[in-house]
Structure formats: C-alpha cells, structure tokens
Amino acid sequence: MEMLKVNKLVKTYEGKVATPVLKGINLAVRQGEFVGVMGPSGSGKTTLLNMVATIDSPSSGEVIINGMNPHTLKKDKLASFRRRELGFVFQSFNLLNTLTVEENIVLPLTLEGVSVRKMRSDARLLADRLGITPILDKRSYEISGGQMQRTAIARAIIHRPKLLLADEPTGNLDSKSSKDVMETLENINKSDGTTMMMVTHDAFAASYCDRVIFIKDGELYHEIFNTGNRQVFFQQIMDALSMMSADHSEFSTVRV
Amino acid sequence: MNFRQFAFNNVFRNKRTYAAYFLSSAFSVMIFFIYSVIAFHPEMQEGMVVNLASQAMKIAQWIVYVFSFFFILYSVSAFLKTRQHEFGVLMMQGMSHRQMNRLVFLENMIIGIASIIVGIVVGLVMAKVGLVVGGNMMDVQLSYYIAPKALTLTGGSFFVLFIVISFLTQFMIGKSKVIQLLQGTNKPKPEPKASLLLSLLAAILLGGGYFLAATANAGTIGILMLPVIVMTIIGSYFLFTQLSVFIINLIKKNRNFFWRRTNLITISDLAYRMKDNARMFFMVCIVSTVAFCAVGSLASFGVLGKQTELSYPFQISYLSKEDNKRASEHLDRIEADFKNANAIYEKVTTTVLYQTSKQSESGVSLLSASEYNKLAALLHIDPIQLKGTDAMVMPHNFEYKKILGAGKRDITLKESGIKLRSIGVAEGPVISQGMGSNWVIISDEVVEKIQGSSKKGIITGYRLDAWEDAKDVGQHVNEELKSWYEAHAEDREANPSFGFTSLADLLAMQNQMYSIMMFSALLVGAVFFIASGSFLYFRLYTDLEQDKERYKAIGKIGLKDKELSKIATTQLLLLFFIPIIVAIIHSVFAFMALQSLMDLSIAGQAFKVLGGFTVAQIIYFMAIRWRYMKHLREALH
Ligand SMILES: Nc1ncnc2c1ncn2[C@@H]1O[C@H](COP(=O)(O)OP(=O)(O)OP(=O)(O)O)[C@@H](O)[C@H]1O
Ligand SMILES: [Mg+2]
C-alpha cells in the first residue's frame, strides 16, 4: 500500500528570473516506510517537503497522500486533513512561545476538541518517551535547542499522523541528542507504523532510515536501501555523498 | 487546555504584544466615560450655557467614539500582522479558518471586555479630576456623582464596538498561503518605486495648498477650505510615499554621505521599511494635524476676549430712552454698587438721536461730532472735523470695523429729509456695543436741524481701569432687563425703554463658553495625540524582533555601544519627528488661514499649542527610546 505518491512534481519560483527548483520529481513511499532525503544545500529538499506538507503549492504535478490529493481540497477540509494525516517537524521548530511545552505538544489535539484528560495522559506518555517530562511546564523559550526539537517532534506525533515529515530534525543537536531523537523516531516508526520522510544532512541520522534518496539540482539523483545493518548502510551513504559531490565539482561541499 | 483557555493563555502570557492595543482601547473607553459622566451630570442639565456645554460634550464624545472605532480597527490589523508567523504555525497544526477566526474573535473580545472594565474603573477615579477641572473651567460646582446612564452608555457602546471589530477581524486574516504566513513579517516589502511625476505632484499639491491657505481671506476661506484640505491630504500621502523615497534614493547615490560611518546602516534601514513607514508617517501626520488644529483653533478663540474688550470701551453702560421713567433710580443703583465695590470710575453722558435711513429702511443712531470728540478724547482717539452734511459711519463693535471699510454711501434721513454724505469710517467704537447700531457721526449743524424731528436717548458710560471690580455692578438692572425680554419674548416689535451692558458679565459668559469648548477640544486632542503615539508604538513593536536580530548581526561585526545608541536614536528621531514636523507645518498654514478671520494676532496662542504638543512628543520620544534601547541591549548581551 502506498502512503505517499509524488508525480512529476515541478516547482518554479516566479520572480524577476523564474527559478526552477524542482524539475519533475517522481517518488513513492510505502506505508510504514522511513525515507531519508539528502542532497546539497539549495537542491530543493525543503521545497519538496513543503509541497508534500501542503505548506506551499506546486507549479505542476501532483502529490497523493493516502489516496488523496490535499492540494485540491477546500480550505476547511485541508485543515482537518493536516490535523489528522500529517505531522510536521520544521527546520526551525516553530513552537509558540506564548504556550508551555505541554500546551505546545497538545495543540493539535485541542484543535480537534479532544477531552482534557486524554490530552494530558497522551502528552505525559509522549514526554516520558522523549525524555522531556521535567520541562513540561516551562515556556518554549526557556528550554534548550535539543529540548525544543523534541517538543516539536512530540507535537508532530501526538495525534498519531499517518505521515510524519521532518526537515533536519537533528540539525541543531549534538551527537548524543541526535542519537536520542533518531532512536525516538525509529521507535515511533516501528511501533506505531507511522510513515516518515526526513530531510537531513547528517549521514548518521540517515542511517536509521529504510531508504535514502538523493536530490541534486531539483532532480532525483540516486537512491539506496538499508539492508539491515546500520554500519554498512552508513558507509553506503557516505560513499554516495562523496560520489555526488565529486560528480558535481571538486570544490562543492556537502555539509556532512 | 481547551480552545477558550488557549485563547486566554495567548492573551495573558503575551502581555507585551497586546499591551499597546489594550492600553489604547482602554484609554478611548476612559475618555468616552469621562465625557459621559460630565455630560449626564445632573447639574449640567440646568442653565443655558451649561446645557450647551453638555451638548458639546456629547458631540465630542461621539467624535471620540467614531475615531476610536477606526483607531482600534487599525490597531487590530497592525497587531494581527505581527502575528502572521504564529497563524502559519497554527494552520500547519491543522487549525481551520473557522477556528482561527474564532480564536481571533475570542482574543479580541477578551481584550475588549478587559479594556471596557479597566477603562471604566480608571475612569471612575479620573472622573473626579475631570469633574473638578471641568467644573472649574466652566465655573459650575460639579459634585462627584456618576450618572448610571454614563456607565451603561459607555459599557454598551464599546461592547457593540468591540463585537463589530472582532467580527471584522476575520476579513483581515485573509486567505494567505501558509508559506507566506510562515515567512510572515520577516519578508521585507519591496521599496516603493519613486515616480518623478508623483513626487512633483506632491510638491505641487502641498505648495498650492499652502499658498491658498496663506492667502485666504474672510471672504474666500469658506470656498477654499475643502479643496485645501483635500489637496493637503493627497499631497501628504505622496510626500511620504513618493517624494521621501525619491530623496532617500538621492542620498544613496551620494556615497560620500551614505557610506560615512553609521549613515549606511541608518539610511538603508529607513529605505528597507519605507513602504510600511510611509503609511505610518502619513497617518501620524494627518492625525496629529487634526489634533493640533482642533486645539489650536479653539485656543485662538481666546483672543476673542480681547476683541470683546475693544468693543466695550465703557465697561458699564446705561441707555435711557425718552419714555423711560426709571432712569435716575437705575443710575442711583448702579452708582451705589460702585460704592460698595470701592471702584473708581469716570462717568460720561452723551445724547443720541434716532432717525431712519431711507435707503435701508432701518433705524440709524446719530452722534454729533462734538459728542464723538468728547468720548474720543477719553479713549485717546484723534478728534474729527465734520462740516455741513458730511458724515462718518462708526462700527458698533470691533469686528465690524473691516466690513464697514468697504464702500461709501449716502444716507437720506427719512424724518428730516436731510441727505448725508458719508466721507469715511470713524475710529471706534467710542460707545459700547449694545447701546445702538448703525452709528453715524454728523456735524453739529445738522444736529441743530434735526433736533425736533428725532427721538432721543441718553447713554451713561462708566469707565474703569480695574474693570474686574465692576463684575457685580448693575446686576439688578441687568436682571430687570432680562426679565423684560423674557416677558416680551413673543413681541418682536417691542423695545425696552432702557438698555444695560456690562463687559464683565459678558466676558464671564464668553469665558465660560470658551473654557467648555477648550476642555472638550483638549480631551479630543489628547485622544488623537495618544492615537498617533500608538501608531508609532505599533510600528516599533512590529519590527522589534527583527531589529534585535539585525543589531545582533551588526554587533558581530563590531559595533560599539555608543554607535548602537546613535543608530537607534537617529532612527527613532526620524520616526517620531518627521510626521510631527510635517504636521506642524500643515497646522501653521491652517492657522494662517484662520488668522484671516480674526482681527487680533493668534500667533501667540498657536505657538503655545504647537509648543505644548512638541514638548509632549519629546517626552514620549524619550520614554520610548529608553525602553527600546533597553530591549536592544538585552538582546545584545
Ligand atoms: N521563496 C523563494 N523564492 C525564490 N527562490 C527560492 C525560494 N525559496 C527557495 N528558493 C530557492 O530554491 C532552491 C531550493 O531551496 P530549498 O530551501 O528547497 O533548498 P534545500 O535543499 O532545503 O537547502 P538546505 O539544505 O540549505 O536547507 C534554492 O536555490 C533557493 O534559492
Ligand atoms: Mg532546507
């Protein structure tokens, strides 16, 4: 069963010079699959994720999530679609600083009108799992980057979305915190069966995925599958990255 | 946390964001409430002048209301704009448009109700001050009493206002895409394009408007008023949106200046936000101009008191006609009053003749040249010489002087058939206003001839140096006259057989009216002034987060504390004073136009008002600068 299907997705930013950023991406993600997206800076990863997340609309092509094209939905339908099917972890957290950590986490549920008791217990369970129980009552600007990241992840999964999208969820974390976050994501993926798509520059984080796709200049460049051994997969990813950068130009750098 | 709690938390945890919006709403409520308390005060319902004041208050009150509506509407939209990012995040969490509208509606109602409560509670305290100050100005004793109607009117009308505004907010959130909301205010708006044509238009409109205002006279001011106002408003708009950009671009080209020290940062910042700033400048400028002009024009009426003094050379005057049998009784009374007041006075009696002009079919009051010269000597006015049928007209009050100036005309006296030739306007009046009208000075020869055919009147004038002493003099006579008029209110033909005027009495009434208007204007002016201050505050607050980021970035390059302070101060200075300076220039021309209606100079009054506002603005600037710098320094360290 396919959870996500992307057909000939094109995105061009109109401006003084029209910049084609995505040039016809095709992609299919199975239900329960954990997909990593890698590529050089500016290659269009965030743009792709934004299209899938319905944050921005494509110039042409379509996005099918769980059999539906969200871009054709009416506003209110789209709102409840986001609420039920999608979870999103932003590159820059986007927590609301008027709310406490706990309130940030239960935000999607309040919008849905879930009972307070259920919200509380769900939030506590999740906080335990992510190790942020001690900071639940703090305001979002009083916590560290790693804690913010985990809060954002908790907010993205509390309503058990079918598809979780994450833009560099380990971008601001040290290796210990990265490992925690990746293990949490893997755990959610395995035990809840949530389908995931994660943009990352970090080969170590990518090694938790089932499959990693590489994007370059707005096109699919390469993809590799995890055969079960993370060490081996990590090495394959590193090789693919250096191959891609060598192919591009000697001096181009990929932030690894 | 349910949905309503979420709205509550949003408001109460984010006090600073909501503060400006809340405070300006509460302030509007408070002013409206104070007006109502005074207008509905039981002691304000009796007496003609005081009742008029109560009407004036009611009008001022609704001006405040209408203005508050637009002001709060603007505040909400400015406020919602600062929160676009937040709305983007909420939409990503799956908030529907309906829920978003509900959230904003709820927030607004929370703030609205809170500001009604706070506005009224503070108003209850301030009403005490308002009643004392207002009462003093109007010269009535106002006890501390809050009419229930003031409470219900204020609460009710502002509740309606906030419901309507909360309802209108849903059209403001708009249909923006999530990506735009997420980028929110971070996205700079492109600099508006400066068109040479529109810049020129701004200069022409403003120049033309100023020219017309400066050259207006009493005859043309009525026709010119509306076009000049429209020209100035449109001109100001293009001044800020076009001409200013044009000037900034010129400055940018001059590298010697632009690239010198902190100028680079200051000016590029100014240009960067020009689109937002231009609109804000425009609004602050117009609102301030309205405030300056409202208070300024009323303050100018202060000189009317002086004009009145000049129209009453004799502070107490008594007129006795032929059929008056109580003249000596009245005069005794008046002189007894003087004695009681220990006042020293000069007393003059003069005879007037009454005939009718054939040309205008109206009565004329005739004064002989020798009588005129007698009075003129007392008032240090040059004597006149009249021969034969030569005559001079004399204004019956000070303002009438200018109108009389135009045209010479002949007057034929109906009763005696004598044809008088008017040779000019006599300096004057030498007789107090109210003692007669259509004054004509005639030669002593003519007086001889018409003695027989004329009715006569005798005017007794009392002149004092310290005329304030005469405040209570002649009250009885005055009362008698007033009751005569009341008794004969229906009969338009009837004339009393005596007349009485007292400058002190008139001035007291005039002062009372003036104080009432001034009081209302000051309160309205205060509302407008605070509003323009809030526009500035909103502008600053909207940009504060960005400013912090920017200064942080600049700080990394190495910016001394003193330099930071200099850049920020210059920017604030420009923000605060550009629109005010333009508003002051606008107002100066408005006062020049107003001057054409007045005989005495209003420059002093205008200067006081504009000076007062400038001082208030400077204080406001210092306070805001202090807070703003504190925020920036906190962000940097
Ligand atoms: N709003 C926009 N208007 C015009 N061009 C844009 C806009 N947003 C992104 N771009 C361009 O699209 C390209 C892809 O951007 P995108 O953010 O998807 O890159 P990315 O792969 O996520 O990079 P990174 O790894 O640095 O986050 C970039 O070249 C960028 O300049
Ligand atoms: Mg990106």
Q: What is the ipTM of this complex?
A: 0.71
Percent of chain B with pLDDT over 70: 89
- DSSP per residue over A82-144, as a string? HHHHEEEE-TT----TTSBHHHHHHHHHHHHT--HHHHHHHHHHHHHHHT-GGGTTSBGGGS-
Contact assessment for residue B172 and residue B77, using Cβ atoms and an 8 Å cutoff: yes
Bond preceding residue A108 cis, omega within 30 of 0: no
- Cα A200 from chain centre: 9
pTM of the model: 0.65
**What CATH number belongs to A2-246?**
3.40.50.300
Give CA separation, A215 vs A98, A230, B148, in Å.
37, 22, 72
Residue A73 and residue A62 in contact, taking contact as beta carbons nearer than 8 Å: no
Q: In terms of CA atoms, which chain B residue is nearest residue A96?
A: B86
User: Residue A47 Cα, ligand 1 centroid: separation in angstroms?
Assistant: 6
Q: How far is A157 from chain B (nearest CA, A)?
A: 11
Q: Which residues of B touch A (CB under 8 A)?
A: 1-3, 6, 9-10, 13-14, 85-86, 88-99, 175, 177-179, 182
Q: Is the CB of residue A21 below 6 angstroms from any atom belonging to ligand 1?
A: yes
Is the backbone of residue B319 left (phi > 0), alpha (psi -120 to 50) or beta? beta
Three-state secondary-structure class, residue A100: strand
CB count, 10 Å around CB of B594? 21
How far is Cα A89 from Cα A46, in angstroms, rounded to an integer? 12
Which amino acid appears at position A56 of this protein?
D
Rounded to a whole number of angstroms, the distance between the first and last alpha carbons of chain A is 33
**Residue B185: what pLDDT?**
53
Write out residues in chain A with pLDDT < 70, as ranges.
247-256
- List of residues 6+ apart from B191 with CB closer than 8 A: B245, B271, B272, B274, B275
- The DSSP-derived string for B487-531 is HTSS-SS---SEEEEEHHHHHHHHHHHHHHHHHHHHHHHHHHHHH
Distance CA A168, CA A180 (A): 14
Contact (CB, 8 A) for B593 and B214: yes
Contact A167, A46 (CB under 8 A): yes
Cα of A167 vs centre of ligand 2, distance in Å, is: 7
From the CB of A143, is ligand 1 less than 6 Å away?
no
Query: Minimal CA–CA distance to B443: which of B366, B511, B529, B334?
Result: B366
User: How many residues comprise chain A?
Assistant: 256
Chain centre distance of CA A188:
13
Angle in degrees, CA A49, A52, A56, rounded to 5: 80
Inter-chain Cβ pairs, chain A and chain B, closer than 8 A: 84
Question: Which residues are CB-contacts of A128 (< 8 A; sequence separation ≥ 6)?
Answer: none
What pLDDT shows up at residue A8? 93
The beta strand positions in B331-448, using DSSP E, are 346-356, 363-368, 390-394, 410-412, 419-425, 439-442
Taking CA atoms only, the protein residue closest to ligand 1 atom 24 is A41
Q: Look up tokens 């058939």; give the residue.
A: B417
Tokens of B396: 């019956």
CB of B429 closer than 8 Å to CB of B439:
yes
Instruction: For residue B551, give Cα distances in angstroms to B271, B556, B573, B634.
Output: 17, 8, 18, 11
Q: Are A166 and A199 in contact (CB under 8 A)?
A: yes
Cβ–Cβ under 8 Å, residues B203 and B100: no
- Report how far Cα A90 is from the mean position of its chain's Cα atoms: 7
Q: Indicate left, alpha or beta for B221 from its phi (over 0: left) and psi (-120 to 50: alpha).
A: alpha
- pLDDT, position B136: 77
pLDDT in tens, A189-213: 998 899 999 999 999 999 999 999 9
Q: How far, in Å, is the centroid of ligand 2 from the Cα of B542? A: 27
Q: Does an H or E element contain A63, and which?
A: strand A60-65
Pocket test for ligand 1, best of A16, A23, A47 (most atoms within 8 A of CB): A47
- Containing H/E element for A21? strand A19-30
CB contact under 8 A, A81 and B179: no
Which two structure tokens, joined as six digits, stand for B157? 């009308």
Return the pLDDT at B179: 73
Q: What is the spatial distance between Cα B18 and Cα B110, in angstroms, rounded to a whole number?
A: 11
Contact between chains at A88 and B86 (C-beta distance less than 8 A): no
Rounded-to-10 torsion of CA B10, B14, B17, B23: 90
Closest CA to B543 of B180, B283, B287, B277: B277
- B95 closest CA partner among B184, B178, B9: B178
Nearest CA to ligand 1 atom 1: A13
Q: Give the span between the Cα atoms of B20 and B106, in whole angstroms.
A: 18
Cβ pair A89, A166 in contact under 8 A? yes
> What six digits make up the tokens of B423?
């040779």
Of B10, B96, B182, the CB nearest to A80: B96
* CB-based neighbours (< 5 A) of ligand 2, an ion: A 46
CA-CA distance, B561 to B633, in Å (whole number)? 8
pLDDT for residue B176: 66
Q: Which residue numbers in chain B have pLDDT < 70? A: 1, 16-17, 47-50, 138, 174-176, 183-192, 254-266, 268, 272, 402-408, 467, 538, 542, 553-560, 636-637
Q: What was the pLDDT predicted at A251?
A: 42
Burial class (CB in 10 A: 0-12, 13-18, 19+), B385: exposed
A206 vs A36: CA distance, rounded Å: 6
